[in-house]
A and B are shown apart, each in its own frame.
Chain A
Amino acid sequence: DTAVSQTPKYLVTQMGNDKSIKCEQNLGHDTMYWYKQDSKKFLKIMFSYNNKELIINETVPNRFSPKSPDKAHLNLHINSLELGDSAVYFCASSQGQEQFFGPGTRLTVL
């Protein structure tokens, strides 16, 4: 059974488009996260939700909007995609401090 899953795994799109990435966890965790990993493999937190409530909102452009319909799901919607948004986006969840990561979504903006 997949603990943290993300869809799609790959996303190729044109500049200016709007896209969404979905994340689901079946671990029963209360907290979920979105991370961005750039080409140099640096992993940076973007958002964190605890029981559907936003608790961490890093300095991320307003074009990025997370949505948590329930505590098992955290989706990421990105408006007006830019070239610099190209990266791998990871979803994670935790109950204690240890985080469990999804397989990642590689976003390529052309």
Chain B
Amino acid sequence: EDQVTQSPEALRLQEGESSSLNCSYTVSGLRGLFWYRQDPGKGPEFLFTLYSAGEEKEKERLKATLTKKESFLHITAPKPEDSATYLCAVHTSGTYKYIFGTGTRLKVLA
């Protein structure tokens, strides 16, 4: 069964303290892996798409990487405004469905 698991469930960082969020996936076929940011009371906001193992994408303090079994979202020197829930999703090639993980709630303290 297609599955996406994110860890940790919650993460508290001091401002400037770099860390990584993990997204592990088991799918019959991967069309793409996506990272979204969700702020309280708002819809998910698209961040990155990764298509194949070894691919990396960067945007400001965020860098997403992909292997055949997992993806990491690296946050370098985070700021309080990076506080949000980060969602990982996969688009499967078998059923063309989008499957989301349960997210990592990130809190960055000033």
A101 lies within 8 A of chain B by Cβ: yes
A92: shortest Cβ distance to chain B, in Å?
8
Given A100-B46, A101-B45, A102-B43: A42 and B97 interface contact (C-beta under 8 Å): no
The contact size tier of chain A is 20 to 34
A58 to B46 alpha-carbon distance, docked (Å):
23
A103 and B46 contact, CB distance less than 8 A: no
With a cutoff of 8 Å between Cβ atoms, the chain A residues found around residue B44 in the complex are 43, 90, 99, 101
Cβ contacts B87-98/A at 8 Å (1 or 0 each): 101010000111
A56 and B96 contact, CB distance less than 8 A: yes
A4 and B96 contact, CB distance less than 8 A: no
Given A97-B91, A103-B43, A104-B43: A45 and B49 interface contact (C-beta under 8 Å): no
The contact size tier of chain B is 20 to 34
Ranked nearest first, the 9 interchain pairs of A and B with the lowest CB-CB distance are A101-B43, A43-B100, A97-B32, A101-B44, A98-B46, A42-B102, A103-B43, A90-B43, A97-B91
With a cutoff of 8 Å between Cβ atoms, the chain A residues found around residue B87 in the complex are 43
In the complex, the chain B residue whose C-beta lies closest to that of A100 is B46
A110 lies within 8 A of chain B by Cβ: no
Q: How many A-B residue pairs have CB under 8 A?
A: 48
Cβ contacts B36-67/A at 8 Å (1 or 0 each): 10100111111001000000000000000000
A102 to B42 alpha-carbon distance, docked (Å):
8
B25 lies within 8 A of chain A by Cβ: no
B residues bordering A, Cβ < 8 Å? Answer: 31-32, 34, 36, 38, 41-46, 49, 85, 87, 89, 91, 96-100, 102-103
- Which residue in B46, B96, B98, B102 is a CB contact (below 8 Å) of A40? B102
A residues bordering B, Cβ < 8 Å? Answer: 4, 33, 40-45, 55-56, 58, 90, 92, 97-104
With a cutoff of 8 Å between Cβ atoms, the chain B residues found around residue A92 in the complex are 43
With a cutoff of 8 Å between Cβ atoms, the chain B residues found around residue A90 in the complex are 43-44
B21: shortest Cβ distance to chain A, in Å?
15
A56 to B38 alpha-carbon distance, docked (Å):
24
